[in-house]
Amino acid sequence: MNEQDRPLNTDASPAGEPEAVVVGIDGSPPSRNALAWAIQEARSLNKPIRLVGAYTIPSVAAAAIDVSYVPIDDTSIRAAVTNTLKEAAAEVRAAGVPVEAVIEIGDAAGVLIDESKSGLLNVVGSRGRGGFAGRLLGTVSSALPAHSACPTVVVPASWEADAEKTAHPTSSRPIRQDGVEIEEPDPDTEAIEGIRFDGKVVVGVDSLGAESPALWKAARLAVRRGSPLHIVAVITTTVIGPEWLPSTADLERLVNEGADKLVVAKQRLKDEFPNLDVTWTLFDGQPAEVLVRASDTADVLVIGSRGRGGFAGLLLGSTSQSVLPYSQCPTMVVRVARDHGRRRQDGEIPEPGL
């Protein structure tokens, strides 16, 4: 992409700042929500913000072979994007955060994926005017979380930092909880009151347990925010067919193994971050529901984009629409390499956090 495609805001900080917080801007209320969250995060990271506006030029098919090419004038489109970026840049500067702004010609998701190669974090709103968020939650909903070189945070359109939060009923039940005795649920009750996670960073982990990159990203995020961290994991004990009829002993072993992984994960975090308040809950239910219901009251939800069982493939498969569109809090998606567990067994160092 040539320099003409990337005019910089003349009021911005030096161009190409490495490890900036990248924010997709389309002028919609959701993108302004994303910017508000990104400003807070950039402050805690002591990093600049890089505002990115993108647009595509409509293509015109020739009606006959002898029709001459007529260049399309994108002046008005570019002017609108420029004005939107200038307004956003002014808001960032007013907050005391260094900022730069660029305009890209191209697909919104592709542009942000390209920007992620030098960015520390991608931040977008959950819905927009066919811009970044439309690509996230449209037909290519997996594009940005699946291919971004850095974590992606999706900020819901309805998110407000100080809004009152409601814990909605859930059919997924806690079966083990750190330091809490779980009461035996009424088997005739279809839904129970959801657990509240007010003021906490919540992270979903799968069988990677303490080796999950999402866990460590979430821990560093919680440390920076001065927030407690709550780890959630899910097992499913529901009998869905005769091919799996577990005995009571099998179920008990499954629950114990899940709880043991969470105990180890907590201890590993406490070894690294002694002052971090860490708790955990093991649920019996469906991963998507657990995540969405946790987002009802959590400050931030963090999840890996790939895994093994539990949350495996949750954000990249058919159930992705069950999480991002309905999450009620900013949700960070951390890519997890398919061979992450094997590489850790081979002695690779932990993935660095934000």
- Which tens digit of pLDDT belongs to each residue from 295-327? 999 999 998 876 344 444 444 444 345 677 788
140 has a pLDDT exceeding 60 = no
* Nearest-angstrom CA–CA distance, 148 and 162: 29
Tokens at 84, concatenated? 């939107």
Q: pLDDT tens-digit profile of 9-57? A: 434 444 455 689 999 998 888 889 999 999 999 999 999 999 999 888 7
pLDDT on residue 147: 79
In this structure, what token pair is assigned to residue 306?
């790939």
Tokens of 141: 């909903």
Q: 213-240: per-residue pLDDT in tens?
A: 999 999 999 999 999 999 999 988 765 5
Q: What is the pLDDT of residue 120?
A: 94
For the cut 70, the answer to whether the pLDDT of residue 272 exceeds it is yes
Tokens of residue 312, six digits: 């495996």
CA 316 to CA 337: how far, in whole Å?
Answer: 13
Whole-number percent of the chain with pLDDT over 70:
72
Check if the beta carbon of residue 298 is closer than 8 Å to that of residue 329.
Answer: yes
C-alpha 217/C-alpha 346 separation (Å) is 21
Alpha-helix residue ranges (DSSP H) falling in 273-330: 287-295
Mean pLDDT over 4-8 rounds to: 45
